Amino acid sequence: MSYSVLVIDDEERLNKIMSQKLKKEGFAVHQALSGQEGIDAVKREKIDAVILDYMLPDMTGIEVLEKIKEENEQIAIIMLTAYGNVENAVTAMKLGAYDFMNKPIELNILKEVVLKACANKQLQLENQMLKEELKRTGGNDDLVYKSDKMNEIIQFLEKIIESDANILILGESGVGKTALAKWIHQRSSRKDRPFVSLNCAAIPEQLLESELFGVRKGAFTGANESRPGKFELADGGTIFLDEIGETSMSMQAKLLHVIEEKKFMKLGSSEYRSVDVRIITATNRDLKRLVMEKKFREDLYYRLNLAEIQVPPLRERKEDISPIVYGYLHKLNSKYSKTISIASEALEKLTEYEWPGNIRELLNSLERIHLLKAAGEIKLHDLPHPIAVGDLVLSGSPAPLEP
């Protein structure tokens, strides 16, 4: 990228020397011999950085700095002076100067300072673009979207969100079912109460009951104290049971009792406890087929899906990829204190890819790329080979890890 630099110095010979050096290094250079001439150049030209002498014939460098910042605060300004002192430096830096250097100037050092100033300005602009794109696409939440399909889902949910209706979320692994469940909770009347999540497939069957309903002290060997379960922890709020299709028939019967009676019993206890929770469940399995195969209780199925949501895979809503990418890059930049953006050709490849692992795979890929870059843009060559060339991940390839 070619950066544009303005040199403002009334010493014609020094101005010419600095300008020639920067031109040789590939910069587009403009020259001014007075403060007003420099200010006019800023108004007239696209300037990335200014080399500004502290003492000028018509005004001080500080006055010029202030006027340039009023015109365009993004311009990086490097102050030069033969009268350097700490007070001048502090004043200039407070007013937004990028750096402060004393004359005589080592030209190679000046060139490096100007290059860093221009690159820093460019990264700041790109990060600001990320923030604006994130804001424009509604990416202030964990749920980021702009496709018509997701808009239809949100419009439907907004009609029932204040009710306590149980919601069943269906969709492939990684499509964002957990994010949608959190979105529902955060906009419901229960938003100030707990949101408790449990992946039913991740807990062994023999431990799932104690995880859901808690344990009474002495219930079994090793139960040295009573412990609350997820339903008790979620009281007054929302409980999200992911992969509900993986539960056994006996566990389904217990869940049905909680839904119908709003009561549960701790493992090892003989007393029921009342509970007030909204239940949101999710699965990537076909529950209707499981019901037909007698592997899922029909009565529980109808209790869980008072409202049923089918979240489409990412390949069917590719309009969502761009805001998801911008939103996650913004989060990663904040997390790792970087200012990394993405080139249009790289974003295009991410949009074209089929994403068999859906949003989870997309986020994993972005974080891995982000970790390997110190700064700048994500380019086409930064993308994993299957994405860059448009090949689907082979079925034998390892599944993407959670970010």
**Nearest by Cα to 327 from 136, 197, 172:** 136
**Nearest by Cα to 31 from 12, 48, 55:** 12
Q: Verify that 307 and 189 share a domain, yes or no.
A: yes
- CATH number of the domain at 62, please: 3.40.50.2300
Please check the confidence at residue 162 and state whether its pLDDT lies above 60: yes
Taking the C-alpha atoms of residue 256 and residue 239, their distance in angstroms, rounded to an integer, is 14
Q: Verify that 307 and 324 share a domain, yes or no.
A: no
Q: Which two tokens stand for residue 365?
A: 């890929």
State the pLDDT at residue 396. 37
Instruction: Answer yes or no: is 263 within a domain.
Output: yes
Q: How far is CA 20 from CA 7, 54, 251, in A?
A: 11, 21, 79
Instruction: Answer yes or no: is 216 within a domain.
Output: yes
Q: Verify that 235 and 263 share a domain, yes or no.
A: yes
- CATH number of the domain at 321, please: 1.10.8.60
Q: Which two tokens stand for residue 115?
A: 């290059």
Instruction: Answer yes or no: is 137 within a domain.
Output: no
CB atoms within 10 A of CB 6: 25
Domain stop point among 280, 312, 344: 312
Q: Which two tokens stand for residue 57?
A: 């014939």
With bands split at pLDDT 50, 70 and 90, how would you rate the model's confidence at 117? confident
- What secondary structure does DSSP assign to 41-75, as a single string? HHHHS--SEEEEESB-SSSBHHHHHHHHHHH-TTS
State the pLDDT at residue 98. 85
Percentage of the chain surpassing pLDDT 90?
58
SS3 164: coil
279 beta partners = 239
Instruction: Answer yes or no: is 37 within a domain.
Output: yes
Please check the confidence at residue 188 and state whether its pLDDT lies above 60: yes
Q: Verify that 226 and 257 share a domain, yes or no.
A: yes
Instruction: Answer yes or no: is 199 within a domain.
Output: yes
Q: Verify that 212 and 109 share a domain, yes or no.
A: no
Is 117:90 a contact under the CB 8 Å cutoff? no
The torsion angles phi and psi of 223, rounded to 5 degrees, stand at -85, 80
Q: At what angle do helices 61-71 and 35-44 cross, to 10 degrees?
A: 10
State the pLDDT at residue 124. 66
Mean per-residue pLDDT of the chain: 87
Q: Which two tokens stand for residue 177?
A: 């079912």
Please check the confidence at residue 402 and state whether its pLDDT lies above 60: no
Least confident of 32-46, 135-149, 276-290, 331-345: 135-149
Please report, as a single letter, which amino acid is at residue 291.
V
What's the structural domain count of the chain? 3
Please check the confidence at residue 296 and state whether its pLDDT lies above 80: yes
User: Once rounded to an integer, what is the mean pLDDT over residues 93-97?
Assistant: 82
Domain range spanning residue 358? 315-389
User: Once rounded to an integer, what is the mean pLDDT over residues 138-163?
Assistant: 82
State the pLDDT at residue 163. 86
pTM comes to 0.65
State the pLDDT at residue 125. 67
With bands split at pLDDT 50, 70 and 90, how would you rate the model's confidence at 225? confident
Q: Verify that 187 and 221 share a domain, yes or no.
A: yes
Please check the confidence at residue 151 and state whether its pLDDT lies above 60: yes
State the pLDDT at residue 9. 94
Instruction: Answer yes or no: is 129 within a domain.
Output: no
State the pLDDT at residue 280. 97
Comparison of pLDDT for 339 and 166, the residue scoring more: 166
Cα angle 370, 372, 374 (rounded to 5 degrees) comes to 80
Which tens digit of pLDDT belongs to each residue from 341-385? 888 889 999 999 999 999 999 999 999 999 998 888 899 999 988
Q: Verify that 239 and 332 share a domain, yes or no.
A: no
Q: Verify that 187 and 269 share a domain, yes or no.
A: yes
Q: Which two tokens stand for residue 223?
A: 């139960």
Instruction: Answer yes or no: is 288 within a domain.
Output: yes
Q: Verify that 301 and 372 share a domain, yes or no.
A: no
Q: Verify that 385 and 286 share a domain, yes or no.
A: no
Q: Which two tokens stand for residue 126?
A: 């790109």
Give burial (CB, 10 Å; 0-12/13-18/19+) of 219: middle
Cα dihedral 249, 265, 178, 152 in deg (nearest 10):
80
State the pLDDT at residue 137. 47
Cα angle 183, 184, 188 (rounded to 5 degrees) comes to 120
State the pLDDT at residue 394. 38
User: Once rounded to an integer, what is the mean pLDDT over residues 43-59?
Assistant: 92
Q: How far is CA 198 from CA 39, 212, 214, 223, in A?
A: 61, 8, 13, 21
- E-only strand ranges, 75-194: 76-81, 99-102, 167-170
Please check the confidence at residue 71 and state whether its pLDDT lies above 50: yes
Taking the C-alpha atoms of residue 362 and residue 366, their distance in angstroms, rounded to an integer, is 6
Q: Verify that 254 and 267 share a domain, yes or no.
A: yes
Instruction: Answer yes or no: is 299 within a domain.
Output: yes
Comparison of pLDDT for 134 and 283, the residue scoring more: 283
